């Protein structure tokens, strides 16, 4: 089966009308870095494809103290105009320049693990998603977006329009640990965002990538840190808790066992980095 229809809507309204009219049979494509290889290899054979490149969603900006990322802003645009250092770092760590010039912020949220490096940073930053359909718009925290592997709360007639990222109040730390320094899939990705008051943690976000069916928050570790100092023993305990609560898998990159071990190592390192910055400020 070859693609029979290719739609290139010129606005969001046109795009959601097409989705409402064609429903399930319409494949949404943004940068195409994930979808096109599947079509080329015959793994996916959609009858109808809708490209989002001219729908007016490739912008980045600021509004009310938050960073606004249009769903089809590319990873390269985030590196250039990302405003938040952790977002720039995360986008820089994903794939190669060629993929980053095509791949979009929105598409990254749908990338199966071990991909989704930007999504991990967005989770730690409490990003909110604007989902839109012909029925209207709704806002969903990224933390509530994923239901399972390649499964989200998005309805079939909805499009991801925009991502709103509140400017982080405290300190952030991000690492993508892979087998190579660049152009490499993740063994584990860790994004931490902590707010401290008088040495005590008042807000903790620890997001993990490549160790679950989708990017996830280490919520038990976050709760453990609440109200505590960033002492070596608290950091070690939080890292252990995170490594126990994640759900790693084995693939060609790393085993489940190794990924779990690396969660412990890299969560501890991110927390130590934040503790050191806090101590020297
Ligand atoms: C060689 C290679 C290396 C890679 N390395 C990395 C890496 O190191 N780190 C990493 O994180 N990722 C990596 N990726 C994965 C991927 O390319 C990127 O994550 C990219 O951001 C995906 O965006 P896209 O616009 O190309 O997605 P597309 O292929 O266009 O779409 C992907 C999925 O998202 C859905 N979708 C996209 N936008 C929307 C929207 N606005 N509304 C609703 N649904 C939407 C599509 O329907 C599709 O199911 C790599 C990919 C390749 C090919």
Q: Note the pTM of the prediction, 2 decimals.
A: 0.97
Domains and CATH numbers, the chain: 5-51 (3.30.43.10), 60-166 (3.30.465.10), 171-279 (3.30.390.50)
74 CA from centroid of ligand 1 (Å): 10
What is the SS3 assignment for 272?
A: helix
Q: Whose CA is nearest to atom 12 of ligand 1?
A: 115
Residue 79: its pLDDT value, please? Answer: 96
149 CA from centroid of ligand 1 (Å): 15
Residue 137: its pLDDT value, please? Answer: 98
Residue 31: its pLDDT value, please? Answer: 98
- For each of the chain's 281 residues, which pLDDT tens digit applies? 678 999 999 999 999 999 999 988 899 999 999 999 999 999 999 999 999 999 999 999 999 999 999 999 999 999 998 689 999 999 999 999 999 999 999 999 999 999 999 999 999 999 999 999 999 999 999 999 999 999 999 999 999 999 999 998 999 999 999 998 888 999 999 999 999 999 999 999 999 999 999 999 999 999 999 999 999 999 999 999 999 999 999 999 999 999 999 999 999 999 999 999 999 98
**On the CB side of 112, how many CA atoms lie within 13 Å of its CA?**
7
What is the SS3 assignment for 197?
A: strand
134 CA from centroid of ligand 1 (Å): 24
Q: Whose CA is nearest to atom 36 of ligand 1?
A: 107
Query: Which residues, in sequence order, are CB contacts of 176 under 8 Å at separation 6+?
Result: 90, 93, 94, 117, 186, 189, 209
**What pairing do the DSSP bridges indicate for beta strands 48-51 and 26-29?**
parallel
Length reported for the chain:
281
Query: For residue 105, which atom of ligand 1 is closest to its CA?
Result: 21
Query: For residue 117, which atom of ligand 1 is closest to its CA?
Result: 11
- Ligand 1 site, CB within 6 A: 28-35, 37, 52, 71, 75, 94-95, 99, 102-104, 106-108, 110-111, 115-117, 159-160, 185
Task: Tally Cβ neighbours within 10 Å of residue 4.
Answer: 10
Q: Dihedral through CA 75, CA 80, CA 83, CA 89, nearest 10?
A: 60
Q: What is the C-alpha separation between 268 and 245, in angstroms, rounded?
A: 15
Under 8 Å between Cβ of 187 and 259:
yes
Q: Whose CA is nearest to atom 6 of ligand 1?
A: 95
Residue 1: its pLDDT value, please? Answer: 66
């Amino acid at each position: 089966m070859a693609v029979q229809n290719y739609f290139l809507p010129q606005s969001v309204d046109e795009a959601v009308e097409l989705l409402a009219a064609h429903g399930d049979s319409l494949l949404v494509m943004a940068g195409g870095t994930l979808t096109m290889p599947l079509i080329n290899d015959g793994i996916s054979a959609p009858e109808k494809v809708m490209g989002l490149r001219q729908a007016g969603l490739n912008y980045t900006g600021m509004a009310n103290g938050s960073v606004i990322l249009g769903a089809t802003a590319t990873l390269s645009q985030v590196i250039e105009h990302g405003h938040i250092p952790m977002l720039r770092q995360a986008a820089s760590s994903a794939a190669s320049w060629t993929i980053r010039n095509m791949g979009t912020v929105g598409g990254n949220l749908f990338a199966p693990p071990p991909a989704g490096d930007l999504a991990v940073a967005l989770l730690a930053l409490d990003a909110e998603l604007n989902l839109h359909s012909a029925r209207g718009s709704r806002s969903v925290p990224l933390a509530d977006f994923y239901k399972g592997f390649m499964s989200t709360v998005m309805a079939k007639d909805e499009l991801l329009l925009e991502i709103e990222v509140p400017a982080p109040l405290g300190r952030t730390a991000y690492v993508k640990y892979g087998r190579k320094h660049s152009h490499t899939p993740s063994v584990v990705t860790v994004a931490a965002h902590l707010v401290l008051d008088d040495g005590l943690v008042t807000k903790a976000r620890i997001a993990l990538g490549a160790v679950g069916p989708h990017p996830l928050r280490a919520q038990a570790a976050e709760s453990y840190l609440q109200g505590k100092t960033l002492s070596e023993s608290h950091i070690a305990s939080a890292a252990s808790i995170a490594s126990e609560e994640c759900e790693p898998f084995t693939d060609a990159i790393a085993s489940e066992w190794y990924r779990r071990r690396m969660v412990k190592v890299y969560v501890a390192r991110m927390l130590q980095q934040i503790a050191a910055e806090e101590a020297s400020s």
